[in-house]
Amino acid sequence: MEFVSGGVCAAKGFKAGGLHCGIRKNLKKKDLMMIVADNDCTSAAVYTQNLVCGAPITVTKKHLANGVARAVICNSGIANTCSADGIEKAEAMCALAAKAAGCKEEDVIVASTGVIGVPVPLEPIESAMDSLKAGLSYDGGTAAAEAIMTTDTVPKQCAASFEIGGKKCTVGGMCKGSGMINPNMATMLCFLTTDVNIDAAALDAALRAAVKDTFNMVYIDGDTSTNDMAEIMASGLAGNEMIMEDRDGFGEFLSALKAVLLELAKMMAKDGEGATKLIECRVYGAPTDTDARKISRSVVSSSLVKTAMFGADANWGRVMCALGYCGAQVDINKVDIAFISDAGSINVCKNGAGIDFDEELAKQILLRDEIIIDIKLHQGESESVAYGCDLTYDYVKINGDYRS
């Protein structure tokens, strides 16, 4: 497997594009995008677990009931959530996209992201469709990725090529997510494409398995969004023999999909609202997978740990505190903790107790922009990694005037 460029357009059979249609006030920010496949695709998706969910979620769930899709349309700036005419507007967006893509309305995936409780204006979307259609291209991945950004500071794309049965295959994607991120599904919007020939049930199983160990291990601020969605379309144009969950090729596809989602997850964590550092919590030697996941997620979600990382303060007691209240069944008297970055590594806790360490070296390690919190439990074989970021003054500034 190797990483390649192109994002959602890296796989065979997908065009994409994005532009500013007028939903967002800033004329320099794109706010509408489409992805269109050359043929009908096997499709799957996972969604937010928030009971308050956006109208696009409801419509997309209905459209993907048969496991088939041809196009994606998404706007940024307004979430189309808690709006009386939300379903009507989401269906209208599908109708506009279907006309542009030359497909059925029920074969369109629709998504929105932005401010909650504001009606989506259809006029700017309708007026922009001819230009959006004209701008679709096999090199349009970046423009599409830019159009789904809200408080993101950079577009997030990744793709990888690999072989199945001697056929070159590719999976690629893009995501947006910077705030309102607490892993309860996919934690943001993510659009994925692949040219692998795969059964709908196998595609759904692969997506759920990949999300579990990647997007569901990302934490920014503790808020689960109303509009979270991760979807994938498979064109089948790679020409490999049809993949089923219990057949050759499934493992290779799942590995590539996980690799792409992991890169996107890291990009999202590093670009958390106001963040200056990517934090990885790596847990080793847990009694069970559940215990390992509870600990790693608890540590990266702790506001006290996050602020300590922002201040480059080697306050390992906060790590122990987050470990202790997460519900994992472990012996705290066997816990070792170390901080690691490209500036070095330093042990700060042994057998659940503090040890002497060089505070200046610890500070230099924690001043770097990527930090690993290494936890060894010595109580089993299970492992887990969770991803997060530091908590800074800018997070409050960004969210204090989000609607403006």
Is 262 in the same domain as 287? Answer: no
For the segment 225-247, the average pLDDT, to the nearest whole number, is 91
Is 251 in the same domain as 289? Answer: no
Is 22 in the same domain as 107? Answer: yes
Tell me which of 270, 288, 322 is where a domain ends.
270
Is 7 in the same domain as 146? Answer: yes
Phi-psi region of 165 (alpha: psi -120 to 50; beta: other; left: phi over 0): left
For the segment 228-244, the average pLDDT, to the nearest whole number, is 95
Tally of CA atoms within 13 A in the half-sphere of 263 that contains its CB: 21
Tell me which of 245, 270, 295 is where a domain ends.
270
Is 58 in the same domain as 135? Answer: yes
CA distance 154 to 85: 32
Is 315 in the same domain as 257? Answer: no
What's the pLDDT tens digit per position in 136-175? 999 999 999 999 998 788 899 999 999 999 999 999 999 9
Is 264 in the same domain as 336? Answer: no
Confidence check: pLDDT of 210 > 80: yes
pLDDT exceeding 90 applies to what percent of the chain? 79
Tell me which of 217, 239, 270 is where a domain ends.
270
- Structural domain containing residue 357: 278-400
Degrees (nearest 5) of the Cα angle 250, 65, 6? Answer: 50
Q: Which residues are designated catalytic?
A: 187
CATH number for 347? 3.10.20.340
pTM, 2 dp: 0.84
CA distance 95 to 81: 19
CA distance 92 to 101: 14
Is 309 in the same domain as 339? Answer: yes
